[in-house]
Chain A
Amino acid sequence: MELFEVFIRSRNGLHHKHVGSLHAPDHEVALENARDVYTRRNEGISIWVVRSKDILASNPSEQEALFEPARDKIYRHPTFYNLPDDVKNI
């Protein structure tokens, strides 16, 4: 059996969200098992299953190298720009 990760879209218009994992011999069975295990109470309207080994995850020890560069770029946020209160709808 292989390990699969399960993603569920809970409502129309929302993203699929990771909900957990399960064992299955293939994608088809993984999908059926995910239906039984993760949507017994109308938790979703769509399911994705992905082999865990096909996911490449970022390494926690590289967190700084990956995410630090974005931290000081405050000019990427609207609050960086000073406008008088009199200007409306902007």
Chain B
Amino acid sequence: MTKEERFQNRIDQDLKIEPKDWMPEAYRRTLVRQISQHAHSEVVGMLPEGNWLTRAPSLRRKVALLAKVQDEAGHGLYLYSATETLGTPRDETIDDLLAGRAKYSSIFNYPTTSWADIGAIGWLVDGAAILNQVSLTRTSYGPYARAMVRICKEESFHQRQGYEIMLTLCRGSAAQKAMAQDALNRWWWPALMMFGPHDTESTHTEQSMKWKIKRERNDDLRQRFVDMTVPQADYLGITIPDPHLRWNPDRHHYDFGEIDWEEFWKVVKGFGPCNRERLEARRKAHVEGAWIRDAAEAYARRQSEMKKAIA
């Protein structure tokens, strides 16, 4: 058996691959790309929600949103750590993001223009992310799978707090309900896009499925999301903006309309409503935070010199 065959054998037996195990270069590269994109998404994902931290309508909403945003920072860290186990230094990964070479989930390139967007994000965006992440708890690379388990535990409150916001708005005044409907109108299609292109169009899907980096296909996850979410929208009494959406009793699934792929690719390629703004915000935070990192290093150096001098 060749090295490659032995490797595939382990994967086929559902054995996890650990950092020091031999792995094909392409497996390593695919993982570095996927996990670092996932990490960047967690970090950039803090920005649209951070926009509403100071304007949350009550202290209860504010502590919840703050805790959620803080969790996303943690998720970013778990995933940067997992990337690092593959031999890519953290600075390099972060530089890739700041230089605009790396991708992150396009959903965060849409603006949060009303408080209802915070509800819609928790409900739909975290909802979609959870489906994807639950499936990735079974991914073949050990550190990635373990990070996913941790993240999934923390995610469940994110979606619930979002839905609670939507529920409160939908039970409020006509104007509040209209806000909720408007948020659903704007976030529904970008949320469906989160699952990526059709598997027939996706260049990575088959190899990633074989390596068990990916455990479920984009279209299957998307269908599950639609099936899960439609009754939740019905309960809220608001309408999903898709004239083709209807229950199909033969398939036992909802049929739904086609995504605007032109918009999808436009945002992926950097021309969404907020791509520039998001990257600028990240760069600014990185530059303005540099003195803290420098001071911490200088302090640590001084401390160790002092300890040596005493000893």
Residues of A within 8 A of B (CB): 1, 3, 19-26, 28-29, 37, 40-41, 57, 59-61
A38 to B70, CA, bound (A): 12
| Chain B residues engaging chain A, CB cutoff 8 angstroms | 18, 20-22, 67, 70-71, 74, 77-78, 81, 84, 90, 146-147, 150, 154, 293, 296-297, 299-300, 303-304
Knowing A1-B297, A25-B296, A40-B71, say if A20 contacts B20 (CB, 8 Å): no
Do the beta carbons of B299 and A25 come within 8 Å of each other?
yes
Contact yes or no, A1 B293, CB < 8 A: yes
Which one, A26, A59, A60, A61, contacts B300 given CB within 8 A? A26
Q: Is the CB of B74 within 8 A of A40?
A: yes
- One of A1, A26, A59 near B304 (C-beta < 8 A): A26
Contact for B81 among A20, A29, A41, A60, CB less than 8 A: A20
Q: Give complex CA distance A21, B77 in Å.
A: 9
How many A-B pairs fall under 8 Å by CB? 42
State the CA gap A29–B18 with chains docked (Å).
28
Report whether over half of chain B's contact residues are helix, strand or loop; otherwise say mixed. Answer: helix
Q: Are A29 and B74 in contact (CB under 8 A)?
A: no
Minimum CB–CB distance for A39 against chain B, Å: 11
A37 with B300: CB separation less than 8 A = no
Rounded to whole angstroms, the CA-CA distance of A23 and B22 in the bound complex is 25
Contact B90 A25 (CB under 8 A): no
Q: A26-B304, A29-B296, A29-B300 are in contact. Are A20 and B18 (CB under 8 A)?
A: no
Does the CB pair B20–A60 fall under 8 Å? yes
